[in-house]
């Protein structure tokens, strides 16, 4: 039976951001890396609930809540609320937000960025104040480089430092299995370990992939340029990829973002069986599956 929510409560899934391909194409003088990436948002993520309250407060729960660093008052979600309230001229927002943290922290799948973007969407609906698209994008970018792409959780092409966004391709029915070894990887250390930063951009992305085979075939011509440096820093990433690649039901396996989460693409009918098998063999890993879109 579906959960019953208070009448004023709004609940949304803050979907994981998965880089199906990630090419590092350069580096700016200020140190920011340039990228070219195909990003998708599977039906796997954190849960954010928003409701009226006497004052602004944030409740943290879920399996990874304890891994969020620093005091609750410094959480990006509260920063998001304060920034939106300032922009929308809401002096004292009376809101209680509940974050059910289901995604591993600092795991290369944009959990914090998606939480912030989802909070912005909830705040617009809750307040009835809808910012102009340019204003919303600028506000999102001020919260983090990956927040704008998470505002609209559908396939997108990210370029620049992540701030140049274009619609992505139409995807076929597809399942995805996400696996994380519960070992942290430092994004700055991964970038520091790269030997080349001027790699070729993505091949031309088709407007539509008819089948999983077509999608996997295209992705096989792409890369994640951070994968090898990340494996050098975190051996379990290689173990996860080996486990995914030995399963004949998985069409393509790769690391997402700067790691350590990896993914396997499969037919939707196979994803739960693959997840169960991996859980049995590797109870120490975090594993989740769902439709790709």
Q: Distances in Å between the alpha carbon of 146 and those of 29, 93, 111, 114, 160?
A: 20, 25, 10, 8, 11
What are the chain's domains? 10-166 (3.30.230.10), 169-291 (3.30.70.890)
The pLDDT, as a whole number, for residue 2 is: 47
pTM value > 0.85: yes
Contacts 24+ apart (CB under 8 A), 197-201: 197/24, 197/26, 197/27, 197/33, 198/25, 198/26, 199/23, 199/24, 199/25, 199/223, 199/225, 200/23, 200/25, 201/23, 201/25, 201/36
Taking residue 210's Cβ as centre, other Cβ atoms within 10 Å add up to 11
For the chain, how many residues are written? 293
Q: By percentage, how much of the chain surpasses pLDDT 90?
A: 88
Least confident window among 1-5, 203-207, 264-268, 279-283: 1-5
Which residues are catalytic, by number? 17, 146
Average pLDDT estimate for 42-51 = 98
Average pLDDT over residues 33-42: 97
Each residue's pLDDT tens digit, 125-148? 999 999 999 999 999 999 998 999
Per-residue pLDDT tens over the stretch 188-211: 999 999 989 999 999 999 999 999
Token reading at 225:
């340029």
Task: Give the tens place of pLDDT for each residue, 199-254.
Answer: 999 999 999 999 999 999 999 999 999 999 999 999 999 999 999 999 999 999 99
pLDDT reported for residue 49: 98
**Under 8 Å between Cβ of 39 and 18:** yes
Question: How far is 210 from 260, CA to CA, in rounded Å?
Answer: 30
pLDDT at 74 (0 to 100): 82
Residue 1 has pLDDT above 50, yes or no: no
Task: Tell me the two tokens of residue 197.
Answer: 């930063």
Q: What is the pLDDT of residue 4?
A: 47
Is residue 162 classed exposed, middle or buried when 0-12, 13-18 and 19+ CB atoms within 10 A define those classes? buried
- Cα separation, 49 vs 165, whole angstroms: 27
* Per-residue confidence (pLDDT) for residue 221, from 0 to 100: 98
Phi and psi (nearest 5°) for 113? -65, -40
């Amino acid at each position: 039976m579906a959960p019953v929510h208070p009448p004023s409560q709004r609940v949304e899934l803050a979907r994981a951001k998965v880089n199906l391909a990630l090419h590092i194409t350069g580096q700016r003088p200020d140190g920011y890396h340039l990228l070219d990436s195909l990003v998708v948002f599977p039906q796997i993520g954190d849960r954010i609930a928003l409701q009226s309250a006497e004052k602004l407060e944030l409740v943290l729960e879920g399996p990874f809540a304890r891994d969020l660093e620093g005091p609750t008052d410094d959480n990006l979600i509260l920063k998001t609320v304060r920034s939106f309230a300032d922009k929308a001229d809401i002096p004292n927002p009376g809101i209680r937000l509940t974050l059910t943290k289901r995604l591993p922290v600092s795991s290369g799948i944009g959990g914090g960025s998606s939480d912030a973007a989802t909070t912005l969407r909830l705040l617009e609906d809750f307040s009835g104040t809808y910012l102009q698209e340019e204003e919303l994008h600028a506000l999102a970018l001020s919260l983090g480089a990956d927040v704008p792409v998470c505002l609209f959780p559908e396939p997108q092409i990210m370029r620049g430092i992540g701030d140049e966004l274009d619609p992505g391709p139409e995807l076929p029915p597809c399942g995805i299995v996400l696996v994380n070894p519960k070992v942290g990887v430092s994004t700055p250390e991964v970038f520091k370990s790269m030997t080349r930063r001027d790699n070729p951009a993505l091949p031309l992305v088709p407007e539509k992939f008819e089948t999983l085979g077509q999608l996997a075939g295209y992705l096989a011509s792409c890369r994640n340029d951070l994968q090898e440096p990340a494996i050098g820093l975190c051996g379990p990433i290689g173990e996860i990829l080996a486990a995914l690649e030995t399963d004949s039901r998985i069409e393509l396996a790769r690391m997402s973002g700067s790691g350590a989460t990896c993914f396997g693409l499969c037919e939707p009918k196979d994803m739960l069986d693959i997840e169960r098998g991996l859980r049995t063999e590797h109870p120490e890993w975090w594993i989740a599956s769902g439709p790709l879109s």
